[in-house]
A and B are shown apart, each in its own frame.
Chain A
Amino acid sequence: MNKMQKALHELAEMDELAARSSPIHSLHPAAKLIATIAYILVTLSFDKYDLSGLVPMLLWPILLFQISGVELRSCFYKLRIVLPLVMAVGLFNPFFDKEIVLRIGPAAVSGGVVSMLTLMLKGLYCLMASFLLMATTPIDNLCAALRQLHVPKMLVTLLLLTYRYVGVMTGELAIMTEAYHLRAPGQKGIHISAWGSFLGQLLLRSMDRAQELYASMLLRGYHQHFHYADIKPFRRRDALYLIGCVLVFALLRYGKIAQLLGSAIVR
C-alpha cells in the first residue's frame, strides 16, 4: 500500500468512526467544538514544570473515548506523526536545563526532563482531544456548526468541497503512482524527467474537471449557498455538556487533583 492509499484508508476510517452513534456522537457539533478548544487551551496553559497538575487532564479524553466507543488504538496510530516533532523540540530541554528539581529515591530528575515530559503530555492530550472531535463529528455537521459560529461562508464551502475532492484526487494519484512504479521497478520516487508532467497532467485535467463541476453545480441550482442536511437545534443537553466540561476543566486546572489524591494516601 503506498502513502496515498494509506491516507485514503485513514480518511475512510475517520468517516466510519464519525458515522457511528453514541451519546457523544449525538451532541451538537458546536458544543463539541467549543469544549475541545477549551480543553486544548486549558491544557496548554499549564506551566512547563507542572507535571502533576497536567496528569489528571488525561481523565477527560479517556472518559469520552469510553463513552463514545472510539478505540484509543486508532488515535495512538496518529501519534507517529506528531510525537517525533514534539520530541525533537523537547529533546533539547534535558541538555540545557540540568537543575535537579525532584528526587525519586536515588534517581534525580532535572527540570529539563520534567519540561520534556509535560511537553509530550500536552502534545498527546491535544491530539486526543482533536481526534475525539473528528471521530465523533462528521465533517458536514462540523461545517454546519462552523457556519452557525459565523465562520465565513466561502471558507466553509471551500473546506467541504476540498474534503470531497481530496478523496478523488488522492485516489487518482495513487493509481498513477502505482502505474508509474510498475513501469519503473526498483526506482525510489518519480524521476526528474517526469517531475513536471506527472503532476502537471493531472493538474490540467483537474482544472477542466473543476469547470465542469461548477457548471453542474449551477445546473442543480447552486447559488453560492449550501444547504446542510441536518442542522440540529442547540438543545438543553448540549448546553449542559458544555457547562459540565467547563466546570470539569476548571476543577482539573485549579483543583490540584493529583496532589489531593496522593496526600490522602501518603499522610
Chain B
Amino acid sequence: MHMADALLAPAVAATMYVASGTAVGVSIHKLKKDDEPQKLPVMAVTAALVFAGQMINYTIPGTGSSGHMCGGMMHSALLGPYAGFLSMIVILAIQCLFFADGGLMALGANVWNMAFYGCFVGYFLIWRPIMQSRWFGAGKGAQRARIVAASIIGCIVTLQLGAFSVVLETSLSGITELPFGAFVALMQPIHLAIGLVEGLITSAVLLFVYESRPELLQCVEPAEGGSSRRSLKAVVAILAVVVLVVGGGLSLLASSNPDGLEWALFGNAEEGYAENMGLDEENYGVESAAAETAGAIQEKTSFLPDYAFADNDAAVGTTVSGVVGSAMVAGVAILICLAGGFFRKKRQSA
C-alpha cells in the first residue's frame, strides 16, 4: 500500500503532510504530557522489530501462499496510539529513505493511510472498546477471544480505510484514468483478504504476548479463571464467516455497479468520458480551454498544448522538435555519464 511520489499531485501530497503533521503534533504533545521518557527506547526497539517482522513470510494454511503483517494494530496494542503512531512513522520513513518503498513526498499520505488509521482508528474505535467490553463473558478464555476479535476486526477495518484513502488520493491527483468506482472495486476486495491474514498474524503474536506477559498489552488486565479454548475457536470461526459474508456482499455490490468501468469500456467512450470521470472533469476543462486558443483544428480533440495533430503543419513542428529535443537531452545525459566515468578513471589512475 506504499504510494510512490509519482502517484500524487503536489497539492494532495502537501495536504496529507499537513494532516499527518497535525497528528504527529498531537501525539508528541500527549507523550510529553505523560512524561514517559523510558518509552523512547521501547518504541525504537518495537519499531525495529516490526520493521524486520514485516519481512517474515507466514504460510497460510490450505492456500500454498504466504502473507505478512503491516504492524499498525500491533503497535497500538503494545505501545498505545500515540507512541505507536510515532513508531509507525519512523518505520515508514526508513522504508522510504533506504528501501525506496514509498516516496519522500508521499510520506505524508503513507503515514495517514497506514499509521493513522491503524493506530488511532484501530485503537480508539476498535481495540479499546472491545478490550474494555464484556464480550464473550469473563475469564481468560474470553480475554483471548477479545484479543483475536479486536486484532482481526481492527486490521480489516483499518486496511479498508487505508486502501480507500489510496484510491481517493490517487484520483484527486488526477493520475490514473481508471474510473473511481472501478478503482475502488479493485482495491477493496484485495485488501479485505490482506487484512484478514494480517489480523490473524497479529492476533497470534498478541495472544503469545498475552500468555506470557499480559501487562505489556494496552487495556488488558491479567484475568484470573480457567481458560476455555472452545470459545477462541468459535470466535475465529464466527469472524471468518462474517468476513466471508461481508466480503462477498461488498464485492458483489462493487461488481454489480461498476458504472464507471462498464461505461468507459463498452459504452460511448467519447461522449460519456468527461461526465464519467467526475474527478478529472475539471482537469480536462482547463486543458481544453487552453487548447481553444491554439487553433480551430486542435479544438475538438486536443488537450495537449505541446503536442498536436499530424495534419497541422505548425503543430507537427512543435511535436517533432519535442521528440528530437528529448532525444538530445537523453544524449546529453549519456555524455554526462561518460564524462563522469572518464574523470573518475583518470583520478583513480592518478
Contacts and interface: CB of A to CB of B under 8 A. Distances in A.
A66 B339 contact: yes
B interface SS class: helix
Interface string A129-173: 111011000010000000000001011011101111110111011
A260 interface: yes
15 contacts: A4-B52, A7-B99, A51-B326, A52-B326, A65-B340, A82-B103, A126-B5, A130-B96, A162-B91, A163-B94, A189-B66, A190-B56, A200-B208, A203-B209, A265-B324
Given A66-B340, A161-B40, A199-B56, A53 B324 contact: no
Nearest to A108: B310
A96 to B, nearest CB: 4
A254 interface: no
Interface pairs A-B: 8 shortest CB-CB: A66-B340, A262-B325, A200-B208, A262-B321, A258-B325, A52-B322, A161-B44, A189-B57
B121 interface: no
A31 to B, nearest CB: 16
Interface string B65-94: 010000000000010000000110111011
Contacts of A190: 56-59
B22 interface: no
A96 B323 contact: no
Contact of A206 (B46, B200, B303, B323): B46
Contact of B318 (A69, A89, A139, A259): A259
A246 interface: no
A90 B173 CA distance: 13
A19 to B, nearest CB: 14
Given A48-B175, A192-B59, A214-B40, A155 B5 contact: no
A265 B328 contact: yes
Interface stretch (B129-137, B152-160, B330-338): B330-338
A62 B6 contact: no
B105 A44 contact: yes
B269 A98 contact: yes
Interface residues of B, number: 108
Interface residues of A, number: 120
B4 interface: yes
A196 B202 CA distance: 8
Contact of B205 (A72, A154, A195): A195
B304 interface: yes
Interface in B236-275: 264-265, 269
Chain A interface mostly helix, strand, loop or mixed? Answer: helix
A51 B321 CA distance: 12
A59 B5 contact: no
B48 A165 contact: yes
B98 to A, nearest CB: 5
A44 B9 contact: yes
Interface in B175-200: 175-179, 200
B100 A168 contact: no
B104 interface: yes
B295 to A, nearest CB: 15
Nearest to B182: A92
Contacts of B101: 81-82
B329 A59 contact: yes
Given A48-B174, A111-B303, A189 B51 contact: no
A154 B86 contact: yes
A126 B104 contact: yes
A11 interface: yes
Interface in A162-199: 162-166, 168-170, 172-173, 177, 187-192, 195-199
A163 B333 CA distance: 34
Contact of A188 (B52, B64, B86, B103): B64
B74 to A, nearest CB: 9
Contacts of A259: 306, 318, 321-322, 325
A69 to B, nearest CB: 6
